[in-house]
Structure formats: C-alpha cells, structure tokens
Amino acid sequence: MQIRSHSLKEYRNGLVHGYQFEIDPSPRAWTGGIYDEARRGWLYPLTNNVAAQKAYKNVEWNTARIEAIGSSIRTWLNGVPASDLIDDMTLSGFIALQVHAVGEADAGKTVSWRNIRIMTENVEQFATPITFPMIDQVNAIANTISEREKQDGWKLLWDGKTTDGWRGAKLDHFPEKGWVIDDGVLKVISSGGGEAAFGGDIVTTKKYKNFILKVDFKITEGADSGIKYFVDPDLNTGEGSAIGCEFQILDDNKHPDAKMGVLGNRTLGSVYDLIPAPEDKPFRRNFFNTAMIVVKGNHVEHWLNGVKIIEYERNTQMWNALVNFSKYKDWPNFGNGESGYILLQDHGDEVWFQNVKIKELD
C-alpha cells in the first residue's frame, strides 16, 4: 500500500515511487515494514520486531493502520506496532494499492482490500499514544537526534556543521585539505585513489569501548573508503591508513578490490580482509546507506540498512587465526583492544558521510 507517493515524468519516466506499507506473507514476515518503492529500498525492515512478524494472519483479513503526521510515519498490523520512522524526503503524495509483478506461478492468486478509511484533519489529537514496550525508531533525517533517540542515549558524533570532535588520524587538528563540509554532508575529496595520501583519515577525539554506531554513507562510482573502530593511530605512523577493524565501504561492481582478498572479504560491509559480507546485502546504489556497528565486549555486529550482515567474536582463537592470515598479521594484538578511536577513511575517492551518531553501552 503506497502512501505519500508520486508518478512524475522526470523521475524514471513516471514510475510510481514513495513510501510503501509492505505486505509480505513470505517466511521473512515483514508485513507492516516501510519500503521506499523505486527509490531507497528498505527504510524500516522488521528485523528486530518479532511481535509484528508474528502478527500477520495468512489467508485471513488483516488490519493495517498507518499514521503519517509531519515527518513521523508509524504503522500497526492487527493492533501490533510495526514501524516507527522519521523521514522528511516526501511529506505529501497519493495513496495507492499496489499491483506487484505477476508471473505464471502467481496465476489465480488474489489480494483483497476493504474498510479503507482516512483522517486528514486534527490528526495530532487522534494519534496513537506511544506505549511500552516501545519498538525501535529509525530517524532518517540527517544530523538530528529525535526526542526518542535522546531518551535512549543517542548522541551526534558529527554535528553536520563543524569539525568538532574530530582530528586527523596522524594530526592534532582536523586536516586542512582533503575534506569539506557541504550542506550537512562531510565529503572526502577525490585525489586519485591513494590510501590516506591527501587529507588523510579522520578520527574521533575520544575513545569508545561498548557502543552502537550509525553512519550514513554514499559512494561515487568506483569509490573505496571505510569506517574503522578499535583504531590505534600510534600503530602506523608511516604511510597509509591508521590501523583498526574496518566496515568496508566499496563499489563492489567497479572497484577491483572487491575481487581481491579471500572469498569476498574486501567487499562492501565486510570486516575488511577478514570476514566477507553476503553478496545479497541490501545496498542502495546512488542513495545514502546506513552502516551500523554494534560492539558489546568481544561481540561485534555489522548491519547495513537495517539488516544484520556479519557478527563475530574478538579475542578468540578463530579471530586471531583470521588476523594471522590477513594483511594485519604484523600488527600486535590487532582488533583485541578494550577500546579505540572511530575513523572515517580517506582512500582517495569521493565518499559522502552524514548522520553520524553513537549510543554508548554499559
């Protein structure tokens, strides 16, 4: 079911695009999630919402509720909270019932709707109160912290305007070249693909131990970059990038590094040169993507656009064996430190960052 959607001649020759309340009877069970049709893809998958996944009744009538008020879009499935999204890309548009691709295997199948009702006046006073337990909220408005996020302990790691809180990995100040701030976006300037050879990497001025980190990134064609954690800038004081575990950022289709390494462990989302990300990861080409890194002690997870793609344990025999077979084998105790800095990489290609936020954990 489409909401706030459009069909514009100038956008893909009139293709309908916009927010979609998903209907998903498959085993994945993401009915009630929010998909950005023909645009950014999944904005709110039901990865962490088991109650909503169980709420769908196959071959029975189901009740969907959608509240789109300002930048807030919330959904319910049979009375169960499903999605809580904050996004301001499109604040108005038409409502539509979707005809999806129909193949031979779909012959004879039907989808039916009834009781379609809408309220457009005084909607704030009839909005559903937030109840406990609360579902996760996704805030897609760049460089902002919502009230819910503030209550949950989230903080902006980059304010979207200044270089406060960051310095060069091998400097005591922010690089004077190679990085620019442009309309709320932190950009690495293209300089020919050299690793930390122009402006150089930037790191936080504070170390972090246990945390959830979110970074929105957008890559240009053929680009290479990364988000590193447990970084020790003193390990490598010579040429090249500072040393730490890396959430790889890469154009898998156009950059040769994707075919190097072992079994794809240098592709987008991988723990660079160590653990490969799956090939079917939910990447949004030509749009911002959200990388999330979760660190709880020795347990680490990589997420891409709301989907977990990797998890592993540090300080184990398996981890150390992986390191010993990688380009990091000569760096002492690689990836096993108790804490470290967070880094955004300059690999000589233009890459954009925004919405950098962190929640420290006990």
Give 216-247 as a 3 state SS string. Answer: EEEECCCCEEEEEEEEECCCCCCCCCCEEEEE
Write down the pLDDT at residue 240. Answer: 85
The CA distance from 55 to 32, in Å, is 9
Whole-number Cα distances in Å, 206 to 9, 65, 157, 268, 341: 48, 43, 10, 26, 6
Report the SS3 class of residue 36: strand
Q: Which helix (H) or strand (E) holds 155?
A: strand 154-156
Q: How many CB atoms lie within 10 A of CB 302?
A: 24
Return the CATH number of the domain spanning residue range 154-360. Answer: 2.60.120.560
Q: Which residue, 327, 347, 354, 337, is CA-closest to 249? A: 347
Give every residue of the chain whose pLDDT is below 50, as ranges. Answer: none
Write down the pLDDT at residue 99. Answer: 82
Write down the pLDDT at residue 329. Answer: 95
Report the SS3 class of residue 253: coil
Go through the chain and tell me how many residues it has: 362
Beta bridge partner(s), residue 232: 243
Write down the pLDDT at residue 144. Answer: 97
CA angle 257, 239, 205 (to 5 degrees): 95
The CA distance from 199 to 267, in Å, is 24
Write down the pLDDT at residue 194. Answer: 80
Write down the pLDDT at residue 235. Answer: 87
Question: Does 2-141 match 154-360 in CATH topology?
Answer: yes
Report the SS3 class of residue 73: strand
DSSP-derived secondary structure for 262-310: STTTTSTTSBTTTBPPPTT----TTS-EEEEEEEETTEEEEEETTEEEE
Amino acid at 177: K
How is domain 2-141 classified at the CATH fold level? Jelly Rolls (2.60.120)
The CA distance from 335 to 229, in Å, is 9
Name all contacts of 170-174 with Cβ < 8 Å and 24+ positions apart.
Answer: 170/196, 170/200, 170/201, 170/233, 170/237, 170/242, 171/200, 174/202
| Every domain of the chain and the residues it spans | 2-141, 154-360
